Amino acid sequence: MEYIYLTEEIIQRINRYLEKFPRKEQVIIQALHLIYDKYRDIQLEHIQELADYLKEPVATIEGIVSFYDMFRLKRNARHHIRICKNLPCHIMKYKNLLKLIEEKTGVKAGEHDPNGRFYIELVECIGACSIAPAFMIDNDLYDGSKITEEKLDEILSKYT
Ligand code: FES
């Protein structure tokens, strides 16, 4: 099958998830995040390509999409904040960072605000352990260890 939506980059990242995660469902969820982040939506065509690549039934992936509220919540938010919770970021106190971001945005992890500005998600390693605790807003990567209240205000103001 010729892929239109599964770009080379997405496929490479899916391959890394396949090595890292023992359960196919975890790979599917991470792959759906990648697709969502690139296309800001998850359509049947995306699901069909992913199903083909992972050799899984389309219905299995559709089931995961409808089961996980976060995809619906993400669809309803303009900006997606991802905070890494894996060990290096845990050691570097990602929880303090999360608390500050939750306070500043008025949004709890796993939720989005009523204005649909931000959706916050705790995620597995985002490949930026050297700047732990790492976080991303949309496709921008930030070093959480350098975050002060003022700095965070300045960063958040860029995402309207
Ligand atoms: S563990 Fe947090 S970015 Fe790798």
SS3 for 125-155 is CCCCHHHCCEEEECCEEEEHHHCCHHHHHHH
- From 20, 83, 84, give the residue whose CB has the most ligand 1 atoms within 8 Å, as the site to mutate: 84
| pLDDT on residue 78 | 87
How close is the Cα of 58 to the center of ligand 1, in Å?
A: 31
Atom of ligand 1 nearest to the CA of 134: 3
**Residue 83 gets which letter from DSSP?**
E
Mean pLDDT of 29-34: 90
User: From the CB of 126, is ligand 1 less than 6 Å away?
Assistant: yes
| pLDDT on residue 73 | 67
Weakest mean pLDDT among 1-15, 23-37, 60-74: 60-74
User: Any binding-site annotation on 129?
Assistant: yes
| pLDDT on residue 5 | 94
CATH superfamily of 76-156: Glutaredoxin (3.40.30.10)
For 99-149, write each residue's pLDDT tens digit: 999 999 999 998 877 788 998 989 888 888 999 999 999 878 999 999 999
User: Any binding-site annotation on 84?
Assistant: yes
pLDDT class of 160 with cuts at 50, 70, 90: very high
Mean pLDDT of 35-64: 91
User: Any binding-site annotation on 125?
Assistant: yes
Residue 75 has pLDDT above 70, yes or no: no
Average pLDDT, the chain: 90
Tokens of 25: 């469902």
How close is the Cα of 95 to the center of ligand 1, in Å?
A: 13
Cα–Cα distance for residue pair 148/154, rounded to 1 Å: 10
Mean pLDDT of 30-57: 90
Cα–Cα distance for residue pair 56/50, rounded to 1 Å: 8
